[in-house]
Amino acid sequence: MAWEGKAIIFGLHALGRRDGRDHDLSAVKSYKHGFPILSDKVTLIVSGGTGVDNSWKNPYAGDILILDAFLDITTKSTSAATADVGIGATATTTGDTLMDAADIGAATALLSASNDAGSNGGNNRVAASGEFVTVDWKADPVGAVGTLYVLYVPIG
């Protein structure tokens, strides 16, 4: 079962098995027994130059806590390239608050804010309503193929 758009409540998938039976937790509105950990994905677009080509907008009217962000680079760029991933006010705002100078040119890799933060990045960041997570290419990313995953919890 795919994770896309699904919730985890205390480690249970939205269609979880606690007692041997399926429990559809996707319609849970009250977080009395836990909180939802949600994920979204963005297929990376590579325009062939530097700058922000990719963004994901906080889908909630309130703040969210970004637990982690992942760059799944399935095909490396044809040249030495890096990417910054951060939180910004617009879909084109550059930032490196999640990942700073993540290497997308050396090899295929699964990079994360928790393990590949660089000098300015890190996990557990708050994104306000209307803010974006952006991917900013810092060198020629031609040939790179991958996906951005954002793991978050609504808090506002």
Cβ–Cβ under 8 Å, residues 104 and 73: yes
Residue 71 has pLDDT above 70, yes or no: yes
Domain boundaries, the chain: 1-34, 40-154
Mean pLDDT of 125-135: 95
Say if residue 27 is exposed, middle or buried (CB neighbours under 10 Å; 0-12, 13-18, 19+). Answer: exposed
Q: What is the mean pLDDT of the chain?
A: 80
Q: How confident is the model at residue 25 (pLDDT cuts 50, 70, 90)?
A: very low
Supply angle C-alpha 144, 147, 149, rounded to 5: 145
Mean pLDDT of 77-85: 89
CATH fold of 40-154, please? Jelly Rolls (2.60.120)
User: Which pTM value belongs to this model?
Assistant: 0.77
Residue 20 has pLDDT above 70, yes or no: no
